[in-house]
Structure 1
């Protein structure tokens, strides 16, 4: 790829990274009429939300869900024209499984917030009466925790729960159901600020905010394919299998180096994971980039099992006191069933042999679903995401950078930046849209002779 500026508009923008943050940024910029080039190192767009083929089936590397309150993400789905390819449950309802017990449905009522959750907490049979009452009180207190205060981020959610009378069993059977899935860490190790954001925004402040959405199609068809199609329609250029090696600032913009050449642009959106961003960003742009490694990483492991026959009527469930965590199913031809067990905070599982993980989850599912005990498994495999999210521990906000850098025209995007949100699809989309808006403002404020001289 030879060096060349893209003509037209207020200035050309190179978006580096084709995950959700990069897609959101590229679409936002192209919608504003700016010439956009999107570079992605993988064969397809989508970042961590991708699919692959196995034995005639299209399989997502991991199960991704979203909430009704993910307004930016759902808006992007609408812009991509795939709103009907995802489904949001009419009201929050999660079957909670305990080995040897019938499923307990944890659900909201059709009441205004926060009363919508009180009947569900008060009737949560997996806790004792005193624990339920304490949970109601803690939920009420959590509404008054300010997630934007630095002192809130400095504390662990586990310490706060202990301070508010939550037993170890209540943490395992109730609070960690959400914390582990949403923050990829157990409550004991998670930031109180990010936990408060999850519980307040997703469950407490609005009655329908926590209703769970699931894709109805493979993730590649939900994100990558429609994004490439839309960007092509908008005149943007998309290059996959294009790994960026360096970014050099120049008097009239930036030069971006690739394995097979280089391109020039008036502005750059760097929408890649934080270790990659730290290696690419010019030192003058972000002196604090050396601290980004402190964000760390937290893994997620998914165990995929294809049963010869249906083992449960549930499409989604959460397990407690079990090696399984969140369980998702989908029907297959001839009454077969695909079951995916998603294991977040998977530090102890990430390096375990696949055979051990499969055996452990087969035993766990047999303890939860009697039909699984004698149903043959036709296929089983494991997908691993060692760096699924940054490690959302107390104090991490200090290391999450702002969108802007010290070099005008070079901005950062990604769920790891300081969005105020956890590392989620919503955070990624918000960051990309904010980065696009910052770039558009910066380019618009440049003197006209500057952008003309760049061409």
Structure 2
């Protein structure tokens, strides 16, 4: 490999996407990751005979760049995508309800049967929800004014009462944006709902990993980069990036690299500490992006208590639950994902376990009669940035004031929420900034010779 040398700092999905694009363009890439494995927020760890994902990540059919990265990594076959959007909705003491799209109708009519028959809402509220969904199609997620508006305020102005918000809109918003509607940016909510549910009939079909995230992202990415001549330095935290006249010095634990360009693909709190001041004089604003927590409660039962692969819950401490039982393993391993969990992140494990086990027993009577073999909790205090009104103005572009240094991460200005799709898009945008810089530099050098 004879191209320029590029360092990518951060081995999450943004860093992986940037490193793959740069390697494919023929450059010599070194990828630094502080953890022992690649994957960033989508990482796994062993616990006994389990490989545990810290977060339960799903994707939609409309996540085109993320799915394209899976294709490039050779791991797309390790996921399953629904034939048609369908979410089992559970309530204590009520029959399960499935919120599903029509397979026959085009968008946006594909949602009408599901909303008209949505039992958790009264018929009057269903009609009001349909009208709000139609109005949401006219909201421009790229309009800066839209980002200044709260999604909850918009819903109230469009006839959505508290019960409708709680039983429909919050179900989607909390899972997608990690904040409730009253704290969410209308622009980001519109991006999710328009792109995922309203513009194409199949866009919102849900995809799930069939393997631990380490096997879906981290290991395949490492193998691909090494095969392409890249260098992967895991367990190596970058401590400083120094701009030089002809490039950058990247100082990491036990090593250093001279680079022609750098992609900084770490969370915004760390990026503000690492970025050279000349590259981002306004980096202090990034702190105002804040953070929002996700908590996951992991439960292992001696026997199966449900045949559902995943479900959402209403009127329950459970939000979303996933069956992550490894093939051939006895019993059942369920994971409860609790988003917008700032109030829960400090709750003792015993209390979380007691609350969630009781809630599962209400949803699945068999759970109350089945031995619990293990309960444990994973906590992500900074799972996403806080996707509140006004955050678009705080999210920096990939290009910085220092040519050759680009920013990546789902927190940068992709126009997308803090999702796997947003992370991949950010990495690709940062790689394109670097490629343009290196291409222009090469052209200038050739012109001088």
Q: 1:233 to 1:151 in 2, by over 3 A?
A: same
Residue of 275, 279, 302 corresponding to 2:273: 279
SS at structure 2 position matched to 1:446: helix
**Structure 1 CA distance, aligned partners of 2:67 and 2:175?**
20
SS at structure 2 position matched to 1:235: coil
1:219 alignment partner in structure 2: 213
Residue of 45, 56, 59 corresponding to 1:63: 56
Residue of 443, 446, 450 corresponding to 2:441: 446
SS at structure 2 position matched to 1:386: strand
2:258 alignment partner in structure 1: 264
Residue of 289, 292, 295 corresponding to 1:295: 289
Residue pair 1:252, 1:451 contacting (<8 A) in 2 also: no
2:31 alignment partner in structure 1: 38
TM-score by length of structure 2 reads 0.97
Matched, 1:73 2:71: no
Residue pair 2:11, 2:265 contacting (<8 A) in 1 also: yes
Q: Which runs of 5+ in 2 are unaligned?
A: none
The Cα shift of 1:313 comes to: 1.0
Q: Deviations over 1:120-173 (max 9, x none)?
A: 001101101110000000000000000111111001100000000011011111
**Structure 2 CA distance, aligned partners of 1:41 and 1:203?**
37
**Structure 2 CA distance, aligned partners of 1:282 and 1:418?**
19
**Structure 2 CA distance, aligned partners of 1:329 and 1:84?**
19
2:413 alignment partner in structure 1: 418
**Structure 1 CA distance, aligned partners of 2:304 and 2:291?**
36
**Structure 2 CA distance, aligned partners of 1:41 and 1:154?**
36
Q: Deviations over 1:297-348 (max 9, x none)?
A: 0000000000111111111100011100001113455640011000000011
SS at structure 2 position matched to 1:46: coil
1:233 alignment partner in structure 2: 227
SS at structure 1 position matched to 2:399: coil
**Structure 1 CA distance, aligned partners of 2:17 and 2:123?**
46
1:113 alignment partner in structure 2: 107
Matched, 1:251 2:245: yes
Residue of 366, 387, 398 corresponding to 2:382: 387
1:3 alignment partner in structure 2: none
| Equivalences for residues 48-447 of structure 1 within 5 A | 48-110=41-103, 111-331=105-325, 333=328, 335-447=330-442
The Cα shift of 1:448 comes to: 5.7
RMSD of equivalent CA atoms: 1.4
Q: Provide the aligned length of Structure 1 versus Structure 2.
A: 446
TM-score by length of structure 1 reads 0.96
**Structure 1 CA distance, aligned partners of 2:266 and 2:329?**
42
**Structure 1 CA distance, aligned partners of 2:306 and 2:184?**
32
Residue pair 1:122, 1:133 contacting (<8 A) in 2 also: yes
**Structure 1 CA distance, aligned partners of 2:446 and 2:88?**
57
Residue pair 2:399, 2:405 contacting (<8 A) in 1 also: yes
Q: Deviations over 1:53-108 (max 9, x none)?
A: 11211111121100000000000000000111001010000010111101000000
**Structure 2 CA distance, aligned partners of 1:449 and 1:115?**
54
Please identify runs of 4+ aligned residues in structure 1 that moved more than 4 A: 332-335, 447-453
